[in-house]
C-alpha cells in the first residue's frame, strides 16, 4: 500500500498520471479539483462561492478542501491514495499529516512533476475532458480517435474548463508559486520528496513515477 502526493503546477500532468495509476495499480485518486467541481454544481451558497474562486484561478479556503478530503478519505478503499492537487498550502499539508496519522496511515512519497511555464500554457489552453468519464485529452497531443467522441466511454459530452484560459491561468500559476511551491521544501525536509521530469512524453513520465513508487519504502 502506497500513499503519494502528486505535486506540480496547473497542467503538470497530475490528473493524467493519477488516472493511469488508478487503472494500473488500483490506487484511489483523491483530486480536490474534481471534488470542488462537483461541489460547485450543488446549488448551495458554498457551491456558488467555490465556483467564483475557481473561475478566477484563486485557491478555495483550507477549511473547505480539508473537510472534503477528510470525508472522501474516510469512505475510500484501494491500494493506496493518490493526492492530486492537495495539499496546496502549508496548513493543508499539516492537516494531511494529522489525518494520515489519525487513520494509522503514512505518506510514502511526494512526487514533484517539473514542467516549464511555456509548456503549461500550451497544455492548459489545449485541454478538453470527457464530461461523462473524466478522460483527459488535448487538441494537439492527445486527440480523440473519432472527432467529438470519447475513446473510453463513447460519450459526446466533451468539455473545456471555465478556468482553462490565459487570464485565470496567470492567477493559478501565481498561486502555485506563492502558496504551493513552499511545500517542495517542506517535504524535502521530511525526506519524502522525489522530483521527476513532467515535460517528457506521457508514457515516459509514467515510467518515472513507477520507478519512484517501486523504490519508495512501503508503509
Ligand atoms: P485542479 O483541478 O487541481 O487543477 P490544477 O492543479 O490547476 O491542475 P490541472 O487539473 O489544471 O492540471 P493537471 O496537472 O491535472 O494536468 P492534466 O493531467 O489535466 O484545481 C482547479 C482549481 O480548484 C484550483 O485553481 C483551485 O481554485 C481549486 N482547488 C483545487 N484543489 C485545491 C486545494 N487543495 N486548495 C485550494 N483550492 C483548490 O494535463 C493537462 C493537459 O496536458 C491535458 O490536456 C493533457 O492531455 C496534457 N498532458 C498531460 N501530460 C502530458 C505530457 N507528459 N506531455 C504532453 N501533454 C501532456
- Span 7-55, pLDDT tens digits: 999 999 999 999 999 999 999 999 999 999 999 888 888 899 999 999 9
What does the block give as the cell for 58? 484563486
| Cβ(210) – ligand 1 distance below 6 Å | no
Burial class (CB in 10 A: 0-12, 13-18, 19+), 116: exposed
What pTM was estimated for this model as a whole?
A: 0.94
First to last CA, the chain: 7
Ligand 1 site-directed mutation target among 11, 46, 95, most atoms within 8 Å of CB: 11
Distances (CA, A) of 107 to 1, 25, 54, 143, 192: 10, 17, 28, 35, 8
- Residue 219 pLDDT more than 60? no
What is the distance of C-alpha 132 from the center of its chain? 18
Looking at the annotation, which residues are catalytic?
14, 88, 127, 161, 172
Amino acid at each position: 500500500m502506497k500513499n503519494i502526493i502528486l505535486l506540480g503546477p496547473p497542467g503538470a500532468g497530475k490528473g493524467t498520471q493519477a488516472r493511469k495509476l488508478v487503472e494500473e495499480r488500483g490506487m484511489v485518486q483523491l483530486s480536490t479539483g474534481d471534488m470542488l467541481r462537483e461541489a460547485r454544481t450543488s446549488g448551495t451558497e458554498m457551491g456558488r462561492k467555490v465556483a467564483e474562486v475557481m473561475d478566477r484561478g484563486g485557491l478555495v479556503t483550507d477549511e473547505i478542501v480539508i473537510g472534503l478530503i477528510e470525508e472522501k478519505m474516510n469512505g475510500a478503499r484501494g491500494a493506496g491514495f493518490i493526492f492530486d492537487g492537495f495539499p496546496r498550502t502549508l496548513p493543508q499539508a499539516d492537516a494531511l499529516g494529522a489525518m494520515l496519522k489519525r487513520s494509522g496511515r503514512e505518506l510514502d512519497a511526494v512526487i514533484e512533476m517539473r514542467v516549464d511555464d511555456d509548456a503549461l500554457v500550451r497544455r492548459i489552453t489545449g485541454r478538453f475532458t470527457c464530461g461523462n468519464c473524466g478522460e483527459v485529452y488535448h487538441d494537439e497531443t492527445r486527440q480523440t480517435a473519432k472527432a467529438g467522441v470519447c475513446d473510453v466511454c463513447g460519450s459526446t459530452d466533451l468539455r473545456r474548463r471555465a478556468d482553462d484560459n490565459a487570464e485565470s491561468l496567470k492567477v493559478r500559476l501565481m498561486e502555485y508559486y506563492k502558496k504551493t511551491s513552499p511545500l517542495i521544501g517542506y517535504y524535502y525536509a521530511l525526506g519524502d520528496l522525489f522530483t521527476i521530469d513532467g515535460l517528457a512524453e506521457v508514457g515516459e513520465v509514467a515510467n518515472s513515477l513507477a520507478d519512484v513508487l517501486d523504490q519508495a519504502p512501503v508503509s
